[in-house]
Amino acid sequence: MNKQREGSAGDAPSDLARLAAAHGLTQVGRRPGLLEYIGELWTRRSFLWVMASSRSYNRNQNNYLGQLWTVLSPLTLAAVYYLVFGVIVRTDRDIDNFVGFLTIGIFIFLSFAATMQAGATAVTSNINVVRALQFPRAVLPMSVALAEMLMLIPAMAVMVLIVLFTGEPVSWSWLLLPVALAVILMFSSGLAMFAARVVVGARDLRNLIPMAVRLLRYISGVFFLIPAFLPGIFGTILNYQPVAVYLNLVRSIMLEEFPMDPQLWLIAIAWALGFFVIGFVVFWQGEDQYGRD
């Protein structure tokens, strides 16, 4: 008799599990299958958009000039960089339109840097939301990348005006600028997801993110032409690392002295697809760990 009771008690959890499954209920905090995860993320696309747009709008709300800082911040930094690298150090070797070259480099790189730094802490800085709500956690780093792109758009309008002011003629290639930004957004999303997963696994690594951003600033050709200063295999490697590729891509669209290169587009798309897929899969693999520490 006691054995029968023990057997009935032991079957209770499995009966409850079958009952929950029959009614479409799932375990909280479990990691869904990859295709299921993609489906859940698609159904939360409006949530992703609201998070991204709110983040981009709230960034400068507490400042006196408000959203103007979205444009003033990169403009100010571009002016400082021009003074240092265009007037004092003179890194304008082999560049005719150095103002346009530098402006594009600063505006695009700042977006990368902000995405990398905010994306790395996208989960840890929203830990209360992660613990309170059930949603695909990839929304968090992806919303960071989208928010930074939304903030880049008005700055891009100013960048176009600066390029025009420096004497660049309007070209059909300028129509490719939105396509380039879409490719950059894909790469940035993958980068943010990968960085977020790494930081969740080892919190101390977030202290290395500013150092990595600083290193990328100096090896990506933001304020100098890499082949002009680093000829040979080392310069080639740096010139085809992803951040440098995207800076060169936008410059080839906007500046006449940098011809459009189909190979550059292929490399840019390959980097974007590779980083997005790897970042997404790596982040998904840790889905059942977020918010448990």
Divide the 293 residues of the chain into consecutive groups of 10 and give the mean pLDDT of each group. 48 54 53 88 91 76 56 78 83 88 92 91 87 87 93 86 90 94 96 93 84 92 91 92 96 92 95 96 89 67
Rounded to two decimals, the pTM is: 0.85
Q: Is residue 177 part of a domain?
A: yes
Q: Is residue 209 part of a domain?
A: yes
Contact 86, 102 (CB under 8 A): yes
Per-residue model confidence (pLDDT) at position 12: 52
- Looking at residue 253, its amino acid is I
Q: Is residue 292 part of a domain?
A: no
Per-residue model confidence (pLDDT) at position 288: 82
Q: How far apart are CA 207 and CA 197, in angstroms?
A: 15
Number of domains in the chain: 1
Q: Is residue 30 part of a domain?
A: no
Q: Is residue 290 part of a domain?
A: no
Query: Which secondary-structure segment (H or E) carries 216?
Result: helix 209-219
Per-residue model confidence (pLDDT) at position 14: 60
Contact 271, 187 (CB under 8 A): yes
Range of the domain at 94: 36-285
Q: Is residue 10 part of a domain?
A: no
Written as six digits, the tokens of 130 are: 């992660």
Q: How far apart are CA 55 and CA 79, in angstroms?
A: 27
Question: Which residue, among 115, 28, 33, 25, has the nearest Cα to 284 in the 3D structure?
Answer: 33
Please state the separation of Cα 115 from the chain's center in Å.
4
Q: Is residue 47 part of a domain?
A: yes
Per-residue model confidence (pLDDT) at position 105: 93
Please state whether 233 falls in left (phi above 0), alpha (psi between -120 and 50) or beta. alpha
- Looking at residue 71, its amino acid is V
Q: Is residue 26 part of a domain?
A: no
